[in-house]
Structure formats: C-alpha cells, structure tokens
Copies of this chain bind each other. A is one copy, B any other.
C-alpha cells in the first residue's frame, strides 16, 4: 500500500504539470496558455473585458473536515462565474492561484482541480494560467475570471429605478440550510447522494446563462448575485441605485427542505433565508418597458425558477411586508466579524 504523496514531496513544478494535464485543449482565441510568464488571449471586437476575483480560504469559507475537495474547487469557480453572470458577461478565461499547505495530499489537489475544471468546461471557460505556492497556514484557492460583454449591455447594481420589479432566480437560503445540515451531521457528505440543500451548498450552479441573456437582451436594469445573501443584495442595489426596496415576505422562494431545517433550529424560515449567504442566485430588477424582453428570457431559461419578490420604491431603505405590517431588513454579515 502506498501512501498518497503530499505537495512537499513532489514540488511546485509537478503541481503545475498536474494542472496542465487536466486542462482541455485550448480554443483558438487562447494565444498562449499555461507555461510562460503570463497568458495571452485575443479579446473580441467591440467588447468589454469584465474581470473578477474571489478567494476561498480554509477555516473561513470552508472546513476541510466537512467539504470534499471537489466541492472546494467547484465553489471557488462558481463564485467567480456567478460574479460575471451578475454583470451580464459571458465568461471566457480563468487564472488559478493556489496556496497549498506542505502536508496537503496531492490527490486532494487533483480533486480540487477536477471540481473547478468540470464547472469551467461546462461553461466554455478556459483555465489559461495562474500561480502555485506553499501556504504556511490554510489552503487558499483564489480564482480570477475574465468575461466579455458588448458595450451598453453591462448589468450593474446601480441601474434600478422606482417602479421596477424585483426578481430572484432559484430558491433562497438553500445553501445556508445545507451548510448547517452537513456540519450538524459531522461527516464529509457524499455529494452525489446527499440532499438538495447540501448539494446547493457544496455544488452551487452559477446562473451563467441567465446572466448572459439578461445582459444581451437588456432585460434588466440592475443585477447582483446572492453570494452574501438576499438581504445584502437588496441593500447593495438600493444603495448603488439610490432607491428603496419593498419586498413581500410571502413571495420569497424558500425550498421546503431548507425551511424544515431552519424550523428544527427554532428559526423563522424566511427571515433566516434572507440573511443566509452562499446562494449563487441572481437578484435583478426589471423596468416596465423591459417586461416583454424579460418574458422572452424566461421562455429560454424555463428550467430555472424565477420569482418576483417585490418592487423598487423612491423611499430609502429595505422593507419587508408581511400581513399588512412593514419591518426594516438588516444588512448581511461581514467576514471579519
């Protein structure tokens, strides 16, 4: 029986080679991929480059005891693709920066790569470069993704106006419930067989197609992803657009399995779902004159649940309406606290 080798046994170059072997053949617009001082790609004509970066740090964004390596890689890529989707951009290339503890097993590096490359490949995203280094502490997976969008098709947070409808994709709070559930169970979940909430947390599906369509067809005035939760997303759009938000509590889509989990903890399902992060869903606003375009988008993504949850107002603040009463919604948490 051979023990799996650790990264300190094989060296940096072997890890880079292991990454290179896993990358599918590059499309023609990748002029130069991994292996030189930098990667070179050919941007399309009349398009804008959209750039984002997001890091997953062990002990902050995941716990190695509970999170299978394939999910660590998947989530790191998903966070970046979701940011590009929220801008209406089509993802094109990614760079991977890995900081690995010396005692980290090489098969786990391979599983991280499998997770992130499977998701990237599914969305036509090419890994073109990166950096591998040792970490004196936690595992860190940092991805930078670059996408493209035509001019005036960019979706920002600042375009919402009073009267716009507020829509959300998928269900809210599912990932928060899944995180709670699989931590409570205290073991590494089997991602293929576990329930929908655990899968939503470990293998979230970024809304790449929906975001690209909303941008291309100009069917939304503002857009953000729900990585920091619905409450945070509503606050961000309200602040950036200089508007207020009225949300109907009864309209917020919460999956029954997630509601059940919050219920067993004595928590209000919808209010918990509002504050929970890690859902890579899109929150966006649709103006009156965009409604027919948005109806066309809905027909194209008929496998994605889309729910109208409220309306943009001119009164500042984020408000939740339920059975006649109105209450202010607090902002989300911050990672340092």
Chain A interface residues (CB < 8 Å from chain B): 7-8, 10-13, 15, 31-32, 35-43, 45, 47-55, 57-61, 82-84, 86-87, 89, 93, 95, 97, 99-100, 102, 128-131, 133-138, 140, 142, 144, 146-147, 149, 151, 154, 156-158, 223-225, 240, 334-337
Contact = CB atoms under 8 A, between A and B. Distances in A.
A33 to B, nearest CB: 10
19 contacts: A8-B336, A12-B335, A37-B224, A38-B51, A38-B83, A40-B49, A40-B51, A40-B154, A55-B97, A55-B133, A57-B134, A58-B136, A60-B134, A95-B144, A100-B336, A133-B335, A135-B140, A137-B137, A142-B142
A83 B129 CA distance: 12
Contact of A37 (B41, B45, B99, B225): B225
A23 to B, nearest CB: 15
A146 B51 contact: yes
A133 B13 CA distance: 28
B60 A95 contact: no
A157 B34 CA distance: 12
A39 B61 contact: no
A130 B41 CA distance: 21
Given A86-B37, A134-B336, A336-B8, A43 B48 contact: yes
Contacts of A140: 99, 135, 140
Copies of this chain per assembly: 2
B337 A11 contact: yes
A174 to B, nearest CB: 20
A6 to B, nearest CB: 9
Contacts of A84: 37-38
A7 B52 CA distance: 23
Contact of A48 (B8, B42, B58, B224): B42
A48 B41 contact: yes
A45 B45 contact: yes
A133 B228 CA distance: 13
A51 B93 contact: yes
Contacts of A130: 53
Which among A7, A12, A39, A158 has the highest number of chain B CB atoms within 10 Å?
A39
Contacts of A97: 53-55, 97, 142, 144
A41 B45 CA distance: 13
A77 to B, nearest CB: 14
A52 B129 contact: yes
Given A8-B336, A51-B95, A38 B89 contact: yes
Contacts of A57: 99, 133-136
B95 A61 contact: no
A251 to B, nearest CB: 24
A183 to B, nearest CB: 16
B49 A8 contact: no
Nearest to A222: B36
